[in-house]
């Protein structure tokens, strides 16, 4: 196997980013150069590498359309990769699908439950499909109904479940066979804050009690932060950063300032002015944008400078970075060469 | 192998269970078959006196039409059951389990076959109540059920194949319209000798349903007679090979990457 990626020694975090490409032991999940091109020609994944250690909670963070669900579907044997490879506990996801399916539990972004069954019937059948005896399957179904607060509804048709209950049942179905690796695709989207916290607790419990490795996707920085040991940020099919949440946050704890001149003709002048003190400022549609560590102070300075140069401002925004700001900043910072898009 | 049978059993059981929970998906089909039987028998039984029928009572002549329409409908239910699972995404959940892919696709077909056999027996019982005589006895009745199930299996392959391919209830439903030419471009109401239109006779000769009708009629009227029975079985095997091949091919393509 050739070297998978070149190291870019910008800071220490970059070392961890590409190094664990290993196929060997200790990794619950590893992917090398994973690509997916859909039938219509759209490239959803453009060569993704990562490695998840056993027992780790690993988050794939990205906005709509980044390719999170595509990645999950490939890793769980539902989709074939166009190129690249991946292994679950050393078993190839294409050549050894049965072994992979046996060791993973999955809750996809869209739930998959049969509305005509009751919750306990669905759980029991699921257990039996994994080879449990009727009795063991029944006990496990009961246990999981308790764990996910579904007892009151266990004997009611799933058609009568609320969206949140369906999600919990869907997750329970993924846990029936005590998988060693659990995939959760946006597990908290659509849950109320209480259920969301309960789900976070559950993920932690599953990990601490059975040492289950968890691979989850999310759009929320906060969720990745509280739950994950390591995060990869996916943007347009490319991993733009991978690190622990605290190290990423250190890199990201930057405010965004946007200044918009009243007269668009003065945009270039304003940019030149801002760049005198903030060389990293960029043009963003009708505004000048800059990422700084102390938004309020710098904003004051910039306002004074603009007033001094006689530029009237039509708009001003000072804000902590949104996920989008983080992506924008990260892609610029890392440059195109670092995104794995060698072609 | 044992494991495969167990998986098939579990999945088929579940499929039957949910079918019974939504009986309105199957009741109309049985209703249509019984309607055929009553209406055509009541309205047309007089023509059974014609010499072309060779003394076979019209009830025995028209009964296979009710049975075949029932079996095709039962097979269509297999496709509908699969569509339901595709739409609820429960099928994806099942694909994530290590269950045999063959069992996944066969379960709805088998469940459709079981419904169809039950339905065929019911229609036979109604026909007996209407005065059907079975000179061939129980053996002939079993033969008729086997023919209906075989013909249904052929259709189930077609229904499941189109369901997997289209993944949409409407398209799969539209595909079952092939049922009309197959059922009616044949010696459906009168023996071939009474059909005057040349094109219709050609169509009836080409249409495999004709041979299934003839095999059933021969069983009902005379008991086991080799020639028509073998022709009927040959038609069934031919259809089943083509449609099950189509279902397996489609399943292999769509279950790997969808
Ligand atoms: N079946 C498909 N056929 C064609 N293109 C697809 C298909 N599924 C996804 N895509 C495209 O691939 C890209 C990645 O989609 P994907 O669903 O993986 O994103 P995501 O990160 O899960 O987004 P979200 O947060 O909205 O769930 C998108 O541009 C999407 O339009
Ligand atoms: Mg998604």
Virtual CA dihedral for A165, A168, A170, A175, nearest 10 degrees?
A: -150
What band does A332 get if pLDDT is binned at 50, 70 and 90? low
Q: What's the rounded mean pLDDT across residues B2-11? A: 94
Least confident segment among A144-148, A244-248, A279-283: A244-248
Cross-chain residue pair A110–B89, CB shorter than 8 Å: yes
Cα gap A290→A99, rounded to integer Å? 50
pTM of the predicted structure, to 2 decimals: 0.81
Closest partner CB to B88 (pick from A108, A114, A129):
A114
Q: CA nearest A158 in B: which residue?
A: B88
Atom of ligand 1 nearest to the CA of A66: 21
What band does B75 get if pLDDT is binned at 50, 70 and 90? confident
Q: State residue A183's pLDDT score.
A: 98
What band does A340 get if pLDDT is binned at 50, 70 and 90? very low
What band does A337 get if pLDDT is binned at 50, 70 and 90? very low
DSSP A312: P
Q: State residue A17's pLDDT score.
A: 38
Cα gap A306→B130, rounded to integer Å? 98
Q: State residue B220's pLDDT score.
A: 92
> H or E element: which one contains A291?
strand A287-292
Cross-chain residue pair B18–A114, CB shorter than 8 Å: yes
Provide the shortest C-alpha distance from residue B18 to chain A (in Å). 6
Query: ipTM of the assembly?
Result: 0.87
* pLDDT for residue B74 is more than 90: no
Q: State residue B2's pLDDT score.
A: 86
Contacts with A, B 9-28, CB within 8 Å: 10-11, 14, 17-18, 21-22
Q: State residue B141's pLDDT score.
A: 94
Virtual CA dihedral for B8, B9, B15, B21, nearest 10 degrees?
A: 180
* Beta-bridge partner residues of A318: A257
The answer to whether residues B86 and B167 touch, using CB atoms and an 8 Å cutoff, is yes
Residues in chain A: 343
What band does B12 get if pLDDT is binned at 50, 70 and 90? very high
Q: Greater confidence, A340 or B256? A: B256
Q: Name the residue with the closest Cα to ligand 1, atom 4.
A: A38
Give residue-wise pLDDT tens across range B186-242: 888 888 888 888 898 899 999 999 999 999 999 999 888 889 999 999 999 999 999
Identify the CA nearest to B17 among candidates B137, B111, B123, B101.
B111
**What values do phi and psi take at A319, rounded to 5?**
-150, 155
Alpha helices in chain A (DSSP H): 13-18, 68-75, 97-103, 119-129, 134-147, 163-175, 193-210, 221-227, 245-252, 267-277, 295-308, 323-334
Q: State residue A1's pLDDT score.
A: 35
Interface test with A, best of B98, B103, B167, B254 (most A CBs within 10 A): B98
């Amino acid at each position: 196997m050739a070297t998978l990626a070149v190291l870019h020694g910008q800071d220490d975090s970059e070392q961890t980013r590409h190094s664990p490409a290993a196929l060997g032991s200790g990794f619950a999940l590893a992917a090398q150069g994973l690509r997916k091109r859909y039938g219509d020609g759209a490239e959803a994944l453009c060569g993704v590498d990562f490695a998840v250690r056993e027992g780790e909670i690993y988050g794939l963070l990205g906005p709509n359309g980044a390719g999170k669900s595509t990645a999950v579907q490939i890793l769980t044997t539902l989709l074939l990769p166009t190129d690249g490879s991946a292994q679950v506990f050393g078993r190839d996801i294409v050549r050894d699908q049965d072994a992979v399916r046996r060791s993973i539990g999955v809750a996809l972004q869209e739930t998959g439950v049969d509305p005509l069954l009751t919750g306990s019937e669905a759980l029991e059948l699921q257990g039996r499909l994994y080879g449990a005896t009727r009795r063991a399957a029944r006990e496990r179904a009961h246990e999981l109904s308790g764990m996910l607060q579904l007892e009151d509804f266990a004997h009611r048709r799933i058609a009568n479940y609320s969206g949140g209950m369906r999600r919990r049942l869907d997750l329970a179905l993924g846990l029936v066979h005590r998988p060693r690796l659990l995939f959760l695709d946006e597990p908290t989207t659509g849950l109320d804050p209480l259920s969301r916290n309960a789900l976070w607790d559950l993920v932690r419990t599953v990990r601490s009690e059975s040492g289950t490795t968890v691979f989850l996707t999310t759009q929320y920085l906060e969720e990745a932060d509280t739950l994950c040991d390591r995060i990869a940020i996916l943007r347009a099919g490319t991993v733009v950063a991978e690190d622990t949440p605290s190290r990423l946050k250190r890199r990201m704890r930057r405010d965004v300032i946007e200044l918009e001149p009243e007269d668009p003709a003065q945009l270039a002048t304003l940019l030149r002015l801002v760049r005198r003190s903030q060389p990293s400022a960029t043009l963003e549609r009708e505004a000048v944008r800059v990422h700084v560590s102390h938004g309020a102070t710098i904003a004051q300075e910039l306002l004074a400078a603009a007033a001094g140069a006689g530029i009237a401002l039509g708009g001003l925004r000072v804000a902590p970075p949104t996920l989008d700001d983080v992506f924008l900043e990260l892609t610029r910072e890392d440059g195109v060469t670092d995104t794995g898009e060698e072609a | 192998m044992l494991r495969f049978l167990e998986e098939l059993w579990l999945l088929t059981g579940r499929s039957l269970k949910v079918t019974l929970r939504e009986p309105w998906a199957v009741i109309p089909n049985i209703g249509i078959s019984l309607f055929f039987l009553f209406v055509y028998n009541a309205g047309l039984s007089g023509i059974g006196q014609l010499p072309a029928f060779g003394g076979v009572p019209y009830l025995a002549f028209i009964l296979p039409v009710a049975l075949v329409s029932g079996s095709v409908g039962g097979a269509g239910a297999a496709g509908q059951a699969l569509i339901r699972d595709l739409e609820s995404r429960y099928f994806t959940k099942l694909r994530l389990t290590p269950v045999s892919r063959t069992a996944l696709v066969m379960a709805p077909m088998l469940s459709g076959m079981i419904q169809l056999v039950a339905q065929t027996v019911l229609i036979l019982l109604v026909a007996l109540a209407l005065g059907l005589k079975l000179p061939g006895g129980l053996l002939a009745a079993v033969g008729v059920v086997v023919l209906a199930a075989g013909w249904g299996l052929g259709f189930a392959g077609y229904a499941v194949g189109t369901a997997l391919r289209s993944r949409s209830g409407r398209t799969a439903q539209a595909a079952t319209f092939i049922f009309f030419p197959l059922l009616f471009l044949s010696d459906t109401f009168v023996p071939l000798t009474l059909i005057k239109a040349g094109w219709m006779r050609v169509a009836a000769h080409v249409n495999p349903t004709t041979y299934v009708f003839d095999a059933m009629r021969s069983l009902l009227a005379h008991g086991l007679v080799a020639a028509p029975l073998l022709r009927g079985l040959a038609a069934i095997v031919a259809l089943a090979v083509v449609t099950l091949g189509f279902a397996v091919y489609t399943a292999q393509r769509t279950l790997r990457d969808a």
